[in-house]
């Protein structure tokens, strides 16, 4: 049984501003497969919630055997706040509603190793239905299983 994705316990500041998804140049390690043989890459910049990421992680672990491994390359670290409905304006920022992460175009989310190409494609097709962003399947040709 794999652990659940857990947001950070302490963040400073506790409530962050929304921020803008500006295109920045990523390190080559973030855009390529580093640990496994296959990887899932995001094609569009977007904010993904912890719930969506957890659903995708559960779908991956459902298809993998004991000797097959996968890596999660991102951590949800942005607290998203929301004020309750029918509350008057003012009186500060709302409570933390959920956790999210900003992903940039070209960033790798998940990586797999010790799996067949057929199984990798099956996992990829299943995950693209769950995530709100278009994805791409990466393959590292030089690594040996």
Domain of residue 114 covers 29-83+92-139
d(CA 69, CA 115): 8
The answer to whether position 53 is within a domain reads yes
Q: Which tops the pLDDT comparison, 53 or 142?
A: 53
Token pair of 114 as six digits: 């010790």
Any domain includes 20 = no
- Helix residue spans in the chain (DSSP H): 28-31, 50-63, 117-130
- Name the residue with higher pLDDT: 11 or 55: 55
Quick one: pLDDT band at residue 52, thresholds 50, 70, 90?
very high
List own/partner pairs for 50-54 with CB under 8 A and 24 or more apart: 50/5, 50/7, 50/76, 50/98, 50/99, 50/100, 50/101, 51/98, 52/130, 52/131, 52/132, 53/5, 53/101, 53/109, 54/4, 54/5
Q: Which residue did the predictor score with more confidence, 130 or 143?
A: 130
N-terminal to C-terminal alpha carbon distance within the chain: 23
Per-residue model confidence (pLDDT) at position 25: 57
Average pLDDT value for the chain: 84
CATH number at 131 reads: 3.90.1170.10
pLDDT band at 12 (very low <50, low <70, confident <90, very high): confident
Can you tell me the mean pLDDT for 123-143? 87
Q: Is the pLDDT of residue 134 over 90?
A: yes
pTM value is 0.81
In a domain, 113, yes or no: yes
| pLDDT of residue 84 exceeding 80 | yes
CA distances from 63 to 57, 131, 132 (A): 10, 17, 21
Domain count, the chain: 1
Asked if pLDDT for residue 144 goes beyond 80, the answer is no
Is residue 78 in a domain? yes
**Is the confidence at residue 135, as pLDDT, over 70?**
yes
What is the average pLDDT across 26-41? 80
């Amino acid at each position: 049984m794999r652990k659940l994705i857990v947001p950070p316990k302490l963040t400073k500041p506790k409530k962050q501003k929304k921020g803008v998804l500006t295109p920045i140049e990523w390190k080559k390690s973030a855009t390529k497969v580093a640990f496994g043989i296959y990887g899932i890459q995001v094609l569009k910049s977007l904010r993904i919630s912890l719930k969506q990421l957890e659903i995708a992680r559960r779908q991956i672990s459902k298809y993998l055997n004991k000797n097959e491994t996968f890596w999660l390359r991102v951590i949800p670290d942005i607290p998203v706040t929301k004020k309750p409905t029918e509350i008057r304006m003012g009186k500060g920022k709302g409570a933390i509603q959920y956790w999210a992460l900003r992903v940039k175009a070209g960033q790798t989310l998940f990586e797999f190793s010790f799996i067949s190409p057929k199984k990798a494609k099956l996992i990829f097709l299943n995950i693209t239905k769950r995530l709100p962003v278009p994805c791409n399947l990466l393959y590292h040709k030089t690594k040996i299983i």
